[in-house]
Amino acid sequence: MKIFNTLTRKKEEFVPITPGKVGIYVCGPTVYDFIHIGNARPMIVFDTLRRYLEYKGYEVNYVSNFTDVDDKIIARANKDNVAASYISEKYIEECKKDMEALNVRPATTHPQATKEIPDMIDMVQTLIDKGHAYEKNGTVYFRTRSFADYGKLSHKNIDDLEAGHRDEAHQLKVSGEDEKEDGLDFVLWKPKKEGEPSWTSPWSDGRPGWHLECSVMSKKYIGGTIDIHAGGEDLIFPHHENEIAQSEAANGTEFARYWMHNGFLRIANDNDEFEKMSKSLGNFKTVREICKMYDPVVVRFFMLSAQYRSPLNFSAKLIEASKNSLDRILTAADKLRDVIGKNNVAENVEDDAEALKELNTFVERFDAAMDDDLNTADAISVIFEMVKYSNTVCDKVSVDTAAKYYDVLSVLMNILGISIEKKEETLDADIEKLIEDRQEARKNKDFAKADEIRDKLLAMGIELKDTREGVKWKRL
Ligand code: AMP
Ligand code: ZN
Protein backbone atom coordinates (compact mmCIF):
# COMPACT_ATOMS: atom_id res chain seq x y z
CA MET A 1 0.00 0.00 0.00
CA LYS A 2 1.16 3.51 -0.78
CA ILE A 3 0.56 6.35 1.64
CA PHE A 4 1.07 10.06 0.96
CA ASN A 5 3.47 11.08 3.71
CA THR A 6 3.20 14.76 4.69
CA LEU A 7 6.79 14.52 5.93
CA THR A 8 8.27 13.77 2.51
CA ARG A 9 5.34 15.06 0.43
CA LYS A 10 5.48 11.83 -1.54
CA LYS A 11 3.43 8.69 -1.87
CA GLU A 12 5.55 6.02 -0.21
CA GLU A 13 5.21 2.27 0.06
CA PHE A 14 3.94 1.49 3.55
CA VAL A 15 6.36 -0.72 5.49
CA PRO A 16 5.53 -1.23 9.18
CA ILE A 17 8.24 -1.25 11.83
CA THR A 18 7.23 -4.77 12.95
CA PRO A 19 6.05 -7.04 10.12
CA GLY A 20 2.32 -7.72 10.36
CA LYS A 21 1.67 -5.04 12.97
CA VAL A 22 0.67 -1.39 12.67
CA GLY A 23 0.51 1.28 15.36
CA ILE A 24 -1.71 4.25 14.45
CA TYR A 25 -2.21 7.38 16.52
CA VAL A 26 -5.03 9.76 15.54
CA CYS A 27 -5.44 13.11 17.32
CA GLY A 28 -8.92 13.13 18.76
CA PRO A 29 -11.34 15.92 19.61
CA THR A 30 -11.27 18.45 22.40
CA VAL A 31 -14.39 17.56 24.33
CA TYR A 32 -16.30 20.70 25.24
CA ASP A 33 -19.39 20.26 23.08
CA PHE A 34 -20.99 17.86 20.59
CA ILE A 35 -18.63 17.04 17.72
CA HIS A 36 -19.42 18.53 14.32
CA ILE A 37 -19.39 16.62 11.06
CA GLY A 38 -15.98 18.15 10.19
CA ASN A 39 -14.56 16.38 13.28
CA ALA A 40 -16.21 13.19 12.05
CA ARG A 41 -14.17 13.19 8.84
CA PRO A 42 -10.84 12.07 10.38
CA MET A 43 -12.74 9.58 12.55
CA ILE A 44 -14.42 7.94 9.56
CA VAL A 45 -11.43 8.15 7.21
CA PHE A 46 -8.89 6.67 9.63
CA ASP A 47 -11.37 4.06 10.90
CA THR A 48 -11.58 3.00 7.25
CA LEU A 49 -7.77 2.89 7.06
CA ARG A 50 -7.77 0.65 10.13
CA ARG A 51 -10.40 -1.66 8.61
CA TYR A 52 -8.49 -1.86 5.33
CA LEU A 53 -5.20 -2.68 7.06
CA GLU A 54 -6.97 -5.42 9.05
CA TYR A 55 -8.45 -6.80 5.82
CA LYS A 56 -4.88 -6.95 4.50
CA GLY A 57 -3.95 -9.07 7.51
CA TYR A 58 -2.29 -6.53 9.80
CA GLU A 59 -2.87 -6.46 13.53
CA VAL A 60 -3.69 -2.81 14.20
CA ASN A 61 -3.12 -0.98 17.47
CA TYR A 62 -5.32 2.08 17.01
CA VAL A 63 -4.96 4.84 19.57
CA SER A 64 -7.00 8.04 19.59
CA ASN A 65 -7.08 10.49 22.47
CA PHE A 66 -9.66 12.77 23.99
CA THR A 67 -8.25 16.16 24.92
CA ASP A 68 -10.04 16.60 28.23
CA VAL A 69 -8.19 19.57 29.71
CA ASP A 70 -8.10 22.76 27.68
CA ASP A 71 -9.05 26.45 27.80
CA LYS A 72 -12.25 25.80 25.85
CA ILE A 73 -13.39 23.11 28.28
CA ILE A 74 -12.66 25.37 31.24
CA ALA A 75 -14.51 28.29 29.62
CA ARG A 76 -17.54 26.09 28.98
CA ALA A 77 -17.48 24.75 32.55
CA ASN A 78 -17.32 28.29 33.96
CA LYS A 79 -20.20 29.34 31.73
CA ASP A 80 -22.35 26.39 32.84
CA ASN A 81 -21.14 26.70 36.45
CA VAL A 82 -19.99 23.06 36.63
CA ALA A 83 -16.62 21.33 37.00
CA ALA A 84 -14.42 21.03 33.90
CA SER A 85 -14.39 17.25 34.37
CA TYR A 86 -18.18 17.22 34.21
CA ILE A 87 -18.07 18.87 30.77
CA SER A 88 -15.31 16.63 29.41
CA GLU A 89 -16.83 13.37 30.70
CA LYS A 90 -20.23 14.33 29.34
CA TYR A 91 -18.93 15.14 25.85
CA ILE A 92 -16.69 12.07 25.72
CA GLU A 93 -19.84 9.99 26.22
CA GLU A 94 -21.73 12.00 23.59
CA CYS A 95 -18.82 11.68 21.17
CA LYS A 96 -18.76 7.91 21.66
CA LYS A 97 -22.48 7.76 20.83
CA ASP A 98 -21.87 9.69 17.60
CA MET A 99 -18.98 7.42 16.71
CA GLU A 100 -21.14 4.37 17.24
CA ALA A 101 -23.89 5.81 15.05
CA LEU A 102 -21.33 6.40 12.30
CA ASN A 103 -19.99 2.86 12.79
CA VAL A 104 -16.57 4.18 13.84
CA ARG A 105 -15.13 1.36 15.94
CA PRO A 106 -13.84 2.25 19.41
CA ALA A 107 -10.06 2.64 19.40
CA THR A 108 -7.87 -0.05 20.94
CA THR A 109 -7.21 2.65 23.54
CA HIS A 110 -8.83 6.07 24.00
CA PRO A 111 -6.41 7.75 26.40
CA GLN A 112 -7.43 10.93 28.21
CA ALA A 113 -4.92 13.65 28.99
CA THR A 114 -6.02 14.08 32.60
CA LYS A 115 -5.30 10.42 33.34
CA GLU A 116 -1.70 10.54 32.09
CA ILE A 117 -0.31 13.52 34.00
CA PRO A 118 2.59 11.68 35.79
CA ASP A 119 4.01 10.52 32.43
CA MET A 120 3.70 14.07 31.09
CA ILE A 121 5.62 15.43 34.05
CA ASP A 122 8.31 12.80 33.37
CA MET A 123 8.67 13.86 29.75
CA VAL A 124 8.91 17.55 30.70
CA GLN A 125 11.64 16.66 33.23
CA THR A 126 13.55 14.68 30.59
CA LEU A 127 13.38 17.65 28.22
CA ILE A 128 14.67 20.00 30.94
CA ASP A 129 17.46 17.55 31.81
CA LYS A 130 18.50 17.34 28.18
CA GLY A 131 18.55 21.11 27.78
CA HIS A 132 15.51 21.23 25.48
CA ALA A 133 13.26 22.97 27.98
CA TYR A 134 13.42 25.61 30.74
CA GLU A 135 11.22 26.91 33.49
CA LYS A 136 10.20 30.55 34.04
CA ASN A 137 7.87 31.54 36.87
CA GLY A 138 6.19 28.15 36.98
CA THR A 139 5.81 27.79 33.22
CA VAL A 140 7.96 25.32 31.30
CA TYR A 141 8.80 26.15 27.68
CA PHE A 142 10.28 24.00 24.94
CA ARG A 143 13.46 25.55 23.55
CA THR A 144 12.45 25.32 19.91
CA ARG A 145 15.83 26.24 18.43
CA SER A 146 17.44 23.40 20.36
CA PHE A 147 15.73 20.97 18.00
CA ALA A 148 17.58 21.12 14.70
CA ASP A 149 14.82 19.50 12.61
CA TYR A 150 12.10 21.96 13.66
CA GLY A 151 9.86 22.65 10.64
CA LYS A 152 10.50 19.35 8.85
CA LEU A 153 6.85 18.27 8.79
CA SER A 154 5.24 21.58 7.86
CA HIS A 155 8.18 22.43 5.58
CA LYS A 156 8.64 25.74 7.31
CA ASN A 157 11.92 27.50 7.76
CA ILE A 158 12.66 28.38 11.37
CA ASP A 159 14.01 31.83 10.44
CA ASP A 160 10.81 32.72 8.57
CA LEU A 161 8.87 31.67 11.65
CA GLU A 162 11.09 33.84 13.82
CA ALA A 163 10.37 36.88 11.61
CA GLY A 164 6.63 36.18 11.96
CA HIS A 165 7.00 36.00 15.70
CA ARG A 166 8.86 39.32 15.91
CA ASP A 167 5.77 40.93 14.39
CA GLU A 168 3.75 39.32 17.12
CA ALA A 169 6.03 40.60 19.88
CA HIS A 170 3.39 43.01 21.01
CA GLN A 171 0.79 40.26 21.34
CA LEU A 172 3.23 38.14 23.32
CA LYS A 173 3.57 40.91 25.89
CA VAL A 174 -0.19 41.05 26.18
CA SER A 175 -0.45 37.27 26.69
CA GLY A 176 2.28 37.33 29.33
CA GLU A 177 4.63 35.15 27.33
CA ASP A 178 7.36 37.81 26.99
CA GLU A 179 9.35 35.86 29.56
CA LYS A 180 10.23 33.31 26.88
CA GLU A 181 13.86 33.08 25.75
CA ASP A 182 12.67 33.05 22.15
CA GLY A 183 9.33 33.88 20.53
CA LEU A 184 9.30 30.41 18.94
CA ASP A 185 9.35 28.56 22.26
CA PHE A 186 6.09 26.87 23.21
CA VAL A 187 4.49 25.79 26.46
CA LEU A 188 4.97 22.31 27.96
CA TRP A 189 3.53 23.07 31.39
CA LYS A 190 1.58 26.08 32.59
CA PRO A 191 0.60 27.22 36.08
CA LYS A 192 -3.07 27.26 36.95
CA LYS A 193 -5.17 30.37 37.08
CA GLU A 194 -7.81 30.80 39.77
CA GLY A 195 -10.54 28.15 39.46
CA GLU A 196 -8.72 26.00 36.89
CA PRO A 197 -8.10 22.27 37.26
CA SER A 198 -4.50 21.60 38.26
CA TRP A 199 -1.95 18.98 39.19
CA THR A 200 1.13 19.26 41.36
CA SER A 201 4.45 19.34 39.53
CA PRO A 202 8.04 20.33 40.36
CA TRP A 203 7.44 23.68 38.60
CA SER A 204 3.96 24.76 39.68
CA ASP A 205 0.47 23.55 40.32
CA GLY A 206 -0.81 23.57 36.79
CA ARG A 207 -1.55 21.57 33.67
CA PRO A 208 0.20 20.25 30.58
CA GLY A 209 0.30 21.97 27.19
CA TRP A 210 -1.87 20.46 24.47
CA HIS A 211 0.97 19.21 22.24
CA LEU A 212 2.59 17.32 25.09
CA GLU A 213 -0.32 14.97 25.68
CA CYS A 214 -0.11 13.35 22.21
CA SER A 215 3.67 12.87 22.51
CA VAL A 216 3.24 11.13 25.86
CA MET A 217 0.15 9.04 25.10
CA SER A 218 1.36 7.78 21.71
CA LYS A 219 4.62 6.66 23.35
CA LYS A 220 2.82 4.93 26.20
CA TYR A 221 0.23 3.10 24.12
CA ILE A 222 2.18 2.45 20.91
CA GLY A 223 5.90 3.05 21.45
CA GLY A 224 8.72 5.51 20.92
CA THR A 225 8.32 5.27 17.14
CA ILE A 226 4.83 4.92 15.72
CA ASP A 227 3.98 3.73 12.23
CA ILE A 228 1.25 6.18 11.27
CA HIS A 229 0.30 9.46 12.88
CA ALA A 230 -2.88 11.04 11.57
CA GLY A 231 -5.24 13.97 11.97
CA GLY A 232 -6.78 16.89 10.13
CA GLU A 233 -4.50 19.09 8.01
CA ASP A 234 -4.93 22.04 10.41
CA LEU A 235 -2.90 20.04 12.93
CA ILE A 236 0.30 19.93 10.81
CA PHE A 237 1.44 23.23 12.27
CA PRO A 238 2.03 23.86 15.06
CA HIS A 239 0.53 20.80 16.80
CA HIS A 240 2.27 17.97 14.96
CA GLU A 241 5.46 19.92 14.40
CA ASN A 242 5.66 20.47 18.16
CA GLU A 243 4.84 16.83 18.91
CA ILE A 244 7.81 15.81 16.74
CA ALA A 245 10.13 18.29 18.46
CA GLN A 246 9.16 17.15 21.97
CA SER A 247 9.19 13.42 21.22
CA GLU A 248 12.36 13.28 19.16
CA ALA A 249 14.22 15.56 21.59
CA ALA A 250 13.09 13.47 24.58
CA ASN A 251 13.30 9.95 23.11
CA GLY A 252 16.19 10.34 20.66
CA THR A 253 14.31 8.25 18.09
CA GLU A 254 12.14 9.03 15.07
CA PHE A 255 8.63 9.89 16.29
CA ALA A 256 6.34 8.78 13.44
CA ARG A 257 7.20 7.21 10.10
CA TYR A 258 4.12 8.16 8.08
CA TRP A 259 2.05 11.30 8.56
CA MET A 260 -1.45 11.29 7.09
CA HIS A 261 -3.61 14.42 7.07
CA ASN A 262 -7.20 14.67 5.93
CA GLY A 263 -8.53 17.68 4.02
CA PHE A 264 -11.34 19.83 5.35
CA LEU A 265 -15.01 19.27 5.20
CA ARG A 266 -16.36 22.55 3.85
CA ILE A 267 -19.75 24.22 3.85
CA ALA A 268 -21.13 27.08 1.76
CA ASN A 269 -21.17 30.59 3.24
CA ASP A 270 -23.68 33.33 2.41
CA ASN A 271 -21.84 34.05 -0.86
CA ASP A 272 -22.08 30.39 -1.90
CA GLU A 273 -18.34 29.93 -1.44
CA PHE A 274 -17.24 26.81 0.38
CA GLU A 275 -15.15 27.32 3.51
CA LYS A 276 -13.84 25.10 6.31
CA MET A 277 -16.48 23.94 8.75
CA SER A 278 -15.34 25.00 12.20
CA LYS A 279 -16.52 25.92 15.62
CA SER A 280 -14.87 29.32 15.46
CA LEU A 281 -16.56 30.27 12.17
CA GLY A 282 -19.89 29.17 13.63
CA ASN A 283 -20.79 27.39 10.38
CA PHE A 284 -20.86 23.89 11.81
CA LYS A 285 -23.49 21.18 11.95
CA THR A 286 -23.25 18.62 14.70
CA VAL A 287 -23.19 14.91 13.91
CA ARG A 288 -26.22 14.64 16.19
CA GLU A 289 -28.39 17.03 14.17
CA ILE A 290 -27.30 15.67 10.78
CA CYS A 291 -28.02 12.09 11.86
CA LYS A 292 -31.57 13.13 12.70
CA MET A 293 -31.99 14.27 9.10
CA TYR A 294 -30.10 11.47 7.34
CA ASP A 295 -29.31 7.86 8.04
CA PRO A 296 -25.81 7.90 9.65
CA VAL A 297 -24.79 5.21 7.17
CA VAL A 298 -25.43 7.71 4.37
CA VAL A 299 -23.31 10.31 6.21
CA ARG A 300 -20.47 7.80 6.45
CA PHE A 301 -20.78 6.85 2.77
CA PHE A 302 -20.78 10.56 1.84
CA MET A 303 -17.54 11.10 3.82
CA LEU A 304 -15.84 8.37 1.85
CA SER A 305 -17.06 9.64 -1.52
CA ALA A 306 -13.89 11.75 -1.82
CA GLN A 307 -10.27 10.74 -1.34
CA TYR A 308 -9.36 11.79 2.21
CA ARG A 309 -6.83 14.48 1.24
CA SER A 310 -9.26 16.37 -1.03
CA PRO A 311 -11.55 19.01 0.38
CA LEU A 312 -15.11 17.71 0.65
CA ASN A 313 -18.08 20.02 0.28
CA PHE A 314 -21.08 19.39 2.44
CA SER A 315 -24.57 20.18 1.18
CA ALA A 316 -28.03 18.63 1.33
CA LYS A 317 -27.84 17.99 -2.41
CA LEU A 318 -24.58 16.04 -2.11
CA ILE A 319 -25.87 14.00 0.81
CA GLU A 320 -28.98 13.18 -1.23
CA ALA A 321 -26.75 12.06 -4.09
CA SER A 322 -24.85 9.82 -1.66
CA LYS A 323 -28.12 8.39 -0.41
CA ASN A 324 -29.15 7.48 -3.95
CA SER A 325 -25.74 5.96 -4.69
CA LEU A 326 -25.82 3.87 -1.56
CA ASP A 327 -29.38 2.78 -2.35
CA ARG A 328 -28.15 1.41 -5.66
CA ILE A 329 -25.63 -0.76 -3.85
CA LEU A 330 -28.09 -1.90 -1.19
CA THR A 331 -30.73 -2.69 -3.83
CA ALA A 332 -28.20 -4.84 -5.67
CA ALA A 333 -27.52 -6.63 -2.38
CA ASP A 334 -31.29 -7.21 -1.97
CA LYS A 335 -31.44 -8.64 -5.46
CA LEU A 336 -28.54 -10.99 -4.74
CA ARG A 337 -30.26 -12.14 -1.57
CA ASP A 338 -33.44 -12.91 -3.55
CA VAL A 339 -31.47 -14.83 -6.16
CA ILE A 340 -29.63 -16.83 -3.51
CA GLY A 341 -32.98 -17.73 -1.96
CA LYS A 342 -34.11 -19.25 -5.26
CA ASN A 343 -31.35 -21.86 -5.61
CA ASN A 344 -30.69 -21.17 -9.30
CA VAL A 345 -28.48 -23.32 -11.44
CA ALA A 346 -26.24 -21.60 -13.97
CA GLU A 347 -27.85 -21.08 -17.39
CA ASN A 348 -24.45 -21.50 -18.93
CA VAL A 349 -21.37 -22.91 -17.21
CA GLU A 350 -18.97 -20.69 -19.16
CA ASP A 351 -20.89 -17.54 -18.25
CA ASP A 352 -20.76 -18.65 -14.64
CA ALA A 353 -16.98 -19.07 -14.79
CA GLU A 354 -16.71 -15.70 -16.53
CA ALA A 355 -18.73 -14.04 -13.75
CA LEU A 356 -16.36 -15.47 -11.14
CA LYS A 357 -13.35 -14.22 -13.08
CA GLU A 358 -14.92 -10.76 -13.25
CA LEU A 359 -15.50 -10.86 -9.51
CA ASN A 360 -11.77 -11.36 -8.90
CA THR A 361 -11.00 -8.43 -11.16
CA PHE A 362 -13.37 -6.20 -9.21
CA VAL A 363 -11.65 -7.15 -5.96
CA GLU A 364 -8.21 -6.51 -7.46
CA ARG A 365 -9.33 -3.10 -8.68
CA PHE A 366 -10.90 -2.22 -5.33
CA ASP A 367 -7.66 -3.15 -3.55
CA ALA A 368 -5.59 -1.20 -6.08
CA ALA A 369 -7.68 1.93 -5.39
CA MET A 370 -7.33 1.53 -1.63
CA ASP A 371 -3.62 0.76 -1.99
CA ASP A 372 -3.25 4.08 -3.76
CA ASP A 373 -3.28 6.26 -0.65
CA LEU A 374 -6.69 5.07 0.49
CA ASN A 375 -8.57 6.28 -2.56
CA THR A 376 -12.07 5.49 -1.34
CA ALA A 377 -13.60 7.53 -4.19
CA ASP A 378 -12.11 5.18 -6.79
CA ALA A 379 -12.83 2.14 -4.64
CA ILE A 380 -16.52 3.13 -4.53
CA SER A 381 -16.54 3.53 -8.33
CA VAL A 382 -15.32 -0.07 -8.60
CA ILE A 383 -18.16 -1.17 -6.31
CA PHE A 384 -20.64 0.62 -8.59
CA GLU A 385 -19.29 -1.22 -11.61
CA MET A 386 -19.48 -4.45 -9.68
CA VAL A 387 -23.13 -4.02 -8.67
CA LYS A 388 -24.08 -2.95 -12.18
CA TYR A 389 -22.52 -6.13 -13.51
CA SER A 390 -24.03 -8.20 -10.71
CA ASN A 391 -27.51 -6.82 -11.50
CA THR A 392 -27.23 -8.04 -15.08
CA VAL A 393 -25.78 -11.49 -14.39
CA CYS A 394 -27.13 -12.56 -11.02
CA ASP A 395 -30.27 -14.18 -12.46
CA LYS A 396 -28.21 -16.26 -14.86
CA VAL A 397 -25.42 -17.54 -12.63
CA SER A 398 -25.36 -20.42 -10.17
CA VAL A 399 -26.47 -19.86 -6.62
CA ASP A 400 -22.86 -20.38 -5.51
CA THR A 401 -21.62 -17.61 -7.75
CA ALA A 402 -24.40 -15.27 -6.63
CA ALA A 403 -23.47 -16.06 -3.02
CA LYS A 404 -19.83 -15.25 -3.77
CA TYR A 405 -20.89 -11.89 -5.21
CA TYR A 406 -22.89 -11.22 -2.08
CA ASP A 407 -20.02 -12.20 0.23
CA VAL A 408 -17.48 -10.08 -1.65
CA LEU A 409 -19.83 -7.10 -1.71
CA SER A 410 -20.32 -7.54 2.00
CA VAL A 411 -16.56 -7.69 2.71
CA LEU A 412 -15.75 -4.65 0.54
CA MET A 413 -18.58 -2.57 2.00
CA ASN A 414 -17.52 -3.59 5.51
CA ILE A 415 -14.08 -2.13 4.82
CA LEU A 416 -15.93 1.13 4.21
CA GLY A 417 -17.76 0.49 7.48
CA ILE A 418 -21.14 -0.15 5.87
CA SER A 419 -23.20 -3.29 6.33
CA ILE A 420 -25.27 -4.64 3.43
CA GLU A 421 -27.23 -6.96 5.69
CA LYS A 422 -30.93 -6.29 5.68
CA LYS A 423 -31.87 -4.47 8.83
CA GLU A 424 -34.74 -6.34 10.45
CA GLU A 425 -37.16 -3.48 10.52
CA THR A 426 -40.51 -3.77 12.12
CA LEU A 427 -43.49 -1.76 11.03
CA ASP A 428 -45.95 -0.09 13.34
CA ALA A 429 -49.04 -2.20 13.94
CA ASP A 430 -51.33 0.29 12.14
CA ILE A 431 -49.16 0.09 9.01
CA GLU A 432 -49.10 -3.72 9.14
CA LYS A 433 -52.88 -3.60 9.38
CA LEU A 434 -53.16 -1.33 6.33
CA ILE A 435 -50.97 -3.69 4.29
CA GLU A 436 -53.18 -6.64 5.31
CA ASP A 437 -56.34 -4.67 4.44
CA ARG A 438 -54.92 -3.91 1.03
CA GLN A 439 -54.11 -7.58 0.42
CA GLU A 440 -57.65 -8.42 1.42
CA ALA A 441 -59.06 -5.77 -0.95
CA ARG A 442 -56.95 -7.15 -3.80
CA LYS A 443 -58.17 -10.67 -3.07
CA ASN A 444 -61.72 -9.34 -3.29
CA LYS A 445 -60.83 -7.53 -6.52
CA ASP A 446 -61.66 -4.19 -4.88
CA PHE A 447 -58.82 -2.42 -6.70
CA ALA A 448 -60.08 1.08 -5.95
CA LYS A 449 -59.79 0.39 -2.22
CA ALA A 450 -56.40 -1.33 -2.70
CA ASP A 451 -55.07 1.74 -4.54
CA GLU A 452 -56.49 4.06 -1.95
CA ILE A 453 -54.63 2.19 0.81
CA ARG A 454 -51.44 2.15 -1.25
CA ASP A 455 -51.62 5.97 -1.59
CA LYS A 456 -52.32 6.34 2.07
CA LEU A 457 -49.20 4.30 2.90
CA LEU A 458 -47.18 6.31 0.41
CA ALA A 459 -48.20 9.48 2.22
CA MET A 460 -46.91 7.81 5.39
CA GLY A 461 -43.55 7.16 3.71
CA ILE A 462 -44.06 3.45 2.94
CA GLU A 463 -43.86 2.28 -0.66
CA LEU A 464 -45.35 -1.08 -1.60
CA LYS A 465 -44.21 -3.27 -4.44
CA ASP A 466 -46.09 -6.36 -5.60
CA THR A 467 -43.61 -9.03 -6.60
CA ARG A 468 -43.86 -12.69 -7.46
CA GLU A 469 -42.69 -13.43 -3.93
CA GLY A 470 -45.51 -11.37 -2.47
CA VAL A 471 -45.89 -7.77 -1.36
CA LYS A 472 -42.69 -5.97 -0.34
CA TRP A 473 -42.36 -2.62 1.38
CA LYS A 474 -39.69 0.05 1.49
CA ARG A 475 -39.32 3.17 3.60
CA LEU A 476 -38.92 6.31 1.47
P1 AMP B 1 -10.44 19.65 17.32
O2 AMP B 1 -11.44 19.20 18.33
O3 AMP B 1 -10.67 21.00 16.77
O4 AMP B 1 -9.00 19.45 17.82
O5 AMP B 1 -10.57 18.68 16.05
C6 AMP B 1 -10.54 17.27 16.11
C7 AMP B 1 -10.15 16.72 14.76
O8 AMP B 1 -11.09 17.14 13.75
C9 AMP B 1 -8.79 17.19 14.26
O10 AMP B 1 -8.12 16.12 13.61
C11 AMP B 1 -9.14 18.29 13.26
O12 AMP B 1 -8.14 18.45 12.29
C13 AMP B 1 -10.40 17.70 12.64
N14 AMP B 1 -11.25 18.71 11.97
C15 AMP B 1 -11.77 19.83 12.54
N16 AMP B 1 -12.53 20.52 11.63
C17 AMP B 1 -12.50 19.79 10.47
C18 AMP B 1 -13.08 19.95 9.17
N19 AMP B 1 -13.89 20.99 8.87
N20 AMP B 1 -12.83 19.01 8.24
C21 AMP B 1 -12.05 17.95 8.52
N22 AMP B 1 -11.46 17.74 9.71
C23 AMP B 1 -11.67 18.64 10.69
ZN1 ZN C 1 -2.35 15.42 18.81
Q: With bands split at pLDDT 50, 70 and 90, how would you rate the model's confidence at 426? A: confident
Mean pLDDT for the stretch of residues 459-472:
84
Q: Which residues line ligand 1 (CB under 6 A)?
A: 27, 29-30, 38-39, 41-42, 231-232, 234-235, 262, 264-265, 276-278
DSSP for residue 240: I
Q: How far is the CA of 148 from the centre of ligand 2 (A)?
A: 21
Element (H, E) at 472: strand 470-475
pLDDT of 123 reads 98
Does residue 38 contact residue 313 with C-beta atoms inside 8 Å? Answer: no
pLDDT of 428 reads 85
pLDDT in tens, 259-314: 999 999 999 999 999 999 999 899 999 999 999 999 999 999 999 999 999 999 99
pLDDT of 164 reads 67
* Ligand number with the minimum distance to the CA of 231: 1
Mean pLDDT for the stretch of residues 372-380:
98
Q: How far is the CA of 447 from the centre of ligand 1 (A)?
A: 56
Q: For ligand 2, an ion, list residues with CB under 5 A.
A: 27, 214
- pLDDT of 466 > 90? The answer is no
Q: How far is the CA of 112 from the centre of ligand 1 (A)?
A: 17
Q: What is the DSSP string of 44-55?
A: HHHHHHHHHHHH
Which of 308-317, 338-347, 427-436 bottoms out in mean pLDDT, i.e. has the lowest?
Answer: 338-347
Which residue's CA lies nearest to atom 18 of ligand 1?
Answer: 38
- pLDDT of 166 > 70? The answer is no
Q: With bands split at pLDDT 50, 70 and 90, how would you rate the model's confidence at 165? A: low
pLDDT in tens, 171-187: 555 456 679 999 999 99
pLDDT of 49 reads 98
**Rounded (10°) angle between helices 210-221 and 117-129:** 100
Q: How far is the CA of 154 from the centre of ligand 2 (A)?
A: 15
Q: What percent of the chain has pLDDT over 90?
A: 86
DSSP for residue 234: G
Mean pLDDT for the stretch of residues 220-236:
98
Q: What is the DSSP string of 172-223?
A: HHHHT-TTSSSTT-EEEEEEPPTT---B--SS-SEEE-HHHHHHHHHHHHT-
Q: Which atom of ligand 1 is nearest to the CA of 264?
A: 20
Q: What is the mean pLDDT of the chain?
A: 94
- pLDDT of 423 > 80? The answer is no
| Radius of gyration for the chain, computed over Cα atoms and rounded to the nearest angstrom | 27
Q: How far is the CA of 101 from the centre of ligand 1 (A)?
A: 18
**CA proximity to 300, closest of 47, 94, 106:** 47
Q: What is the C-alpha separation between 395 and 399, in angstroms, rounded? A: 9
Q: What are phi and psi of 457, to 5 degrees?
A: -65, -40
Side chain identity at 292, as an amino acid letter? K
Q: Which pTM does this prediction carry?
A: 0.90
Q: Which residue has the higher pLDDT, 136 or 466?
A: 136
